[in-house]
Amino acid sequence: MRSRFQQGLDELKEKLLRMGGLAEQAIDRATEAYRTRDSKFCQMVLTGEAAINDAEREIDELALDLLAMQQPMAVDLRFILAVLKINADLERVGDQAVNIAQRVLDLISEPEVPLPVDIPRMADGVSTMVQRALESFLDGKAEVAEAVLQMDGIVDRMKDEAFVNLVQKMHDDPACTRQALDVLLIARNLERIADHATNIAEDVIFWVRGADVRHGGAHYRE
C-alpha cells in the first residue's frame, strides 16, 4: 500500500478525532457553565472556538491534497468524503456550544429561577451521542453509528417537551420570560448538536458500507 497515502489517511483520522475531542470538550464546558453558573466556563468555550476553526481549516486542506495527489478510490475515497463532511458537522457543533455559552452568560446576568427543563440531562444525552458517533468513526463500526441514529429520536422528544413546558411557564409567569427564552434556545442548540451527531453517524455508515442512509432510507449503489 502506498505508505505516504496511508500516512496521510492516518493523519486525517487523527486530526479529526482531535477536533472531535475539542468539540466534546466545548459541549461539556457549556453544560458545566449552565450547571454551576460560573462564567469562567463560558469564557473557556468562547476562547476555545478558535482552535476548532483552525482544525477545520487544516483538515480541509489535508483532505484536498490527498484527493488531488493520490487519486483515491472506493473505500479510501468514501473515507475522505466522510471526513470532509464530519469536519463541517464538528465545526457547527463548536458553534452551537458557543451559542449555549452565550445564552448561559445571559442567564448568569439574570436572577436564577426554577424552570421545568432538565438541561443537564439533555446535555448528557447529546454529549453521549457525539461521543458514540466519534467512537464509531474511530473504530469504523457501522453498528455503533446505527445506535446513534436511534438516540436522535429521544433527544427530539426531550426538546419538544422542553418547548411545551417552557412556553407554558412563560405564559404562567411572565417575569421569567427572559430566562425561559434563554433555556429554550439552549434546548434548541442541544437538539441541533444531536442532529450533527446523527449526520456524523450517517457519514460513518457511508464510509464503511458504501450505503447512503441519509434522510431516513438505506440506499445502496446498484
Partner 1 sequence: MGVGIEVRGLNAWYGKNQSLKSIDMTVPANHVTAVIGPSGCGKSTFVRCLNRMHETIPEARAEGSVKVGQMDVYGGGSDPVEVRRRIGMVFQKPNPFPTMSIYDNVAAGLKLNGFRNRKQMDALVERSLKLSALWEEVKDNLHKKSGASLSGGQQQRLCIARALAVEPEVLLMDEPASALDPISTSKIEELIFQLKQHYTVVIVTHNMQQAARVAELTGFFLMGSLIEFDKTEKIFTAPADKRTEDYVTGRFG
Judged by CB under 8 A, how many residues of this single chain contact partner 1? 15
Question: What's the closest the beta carbon of residue 29 comes to partner 1, in angstroms?
Answer: 39
CB-count exposure of residue 47 (10 Å: 0-12, 13-18, 19+) = exposed
Q: Where are the beta strands (DSSP E) in the chain?
A: 211-212, 219-220
Given 1, 47, 114, 216, the residue binding partner 1 (CB under 8 A): 1
CB-count exposure of residue 214 (10 Å: 0-12, 13-18, 19+) = middle
- The x, y and z cell numbers of residue 75, run together, are 473505500
Q: What Cα–Cα distance (Å) separates residue 42 from each residue in 30, 85, 147, 167? A: 6, 27, 31, 26
Question: What's the closest the beta carbon of residue 6 comes to partner 1, in angstroms?
Answer: 9
Distance CA 204, CA 144 (A): 10
Question: What's the closest the beta carbon of residue 136 comes to partner 1, in angstroms?
Answer: 18
Q: Which residues pair with 212 in a beta bridge?
A: 219
Binding mask 68-107 for partner 1 (x = CB under 8 A): ---xxxxxxxx-----------------------------
Best CA proximity match to 20, nearest among 84, 77, 79, 94: 94
Given 118, 210, 218, 219, the residue binding partner 1 (CB under 8 A): 210
* Interface region with partner 1, contact rule CB under 8 A, candidates 54-62, 65-73, 146-154, 183-191: 65-73
Question: What's the closest the beta carbon of residue 68 comes to partner 1, in angstroms?
Answer: 12
Question: What's the closest the beta carbon of residue 204 comes to partner 1, in angstroms?
Answer: 15
Question: What's the closest the beta carbon of residue 69 comes to partner 1, in angstroms?
Answer: 13
Specify the residue, 41 or 79, whose C-beta has the smaller distance to partner 1.
79
Judge contact between 129 and 197, C-beta under 8 A.
Answer: yes
Specify the residue, 73 or 172, whose C-beta has the smaller distance to partner 1.
73
Specify the residue, 74 or 217, whose C-beta has the smaller distance to partner 1.
74
191 contacts partner 1 (rule: CB under 8 A): no
Best CA proximity match to 31, nearest among 153, 159, 180, 189: 189
Distance CA 196, CA 208 (A): 18
Specify the residue, 216 or 220, whose C-beta has the smaller distance to partner 1.
220
Catalog residues that contact partner 1 under the rule CB under 8 A: 1-2, 5, 71-78, 210, 220-222
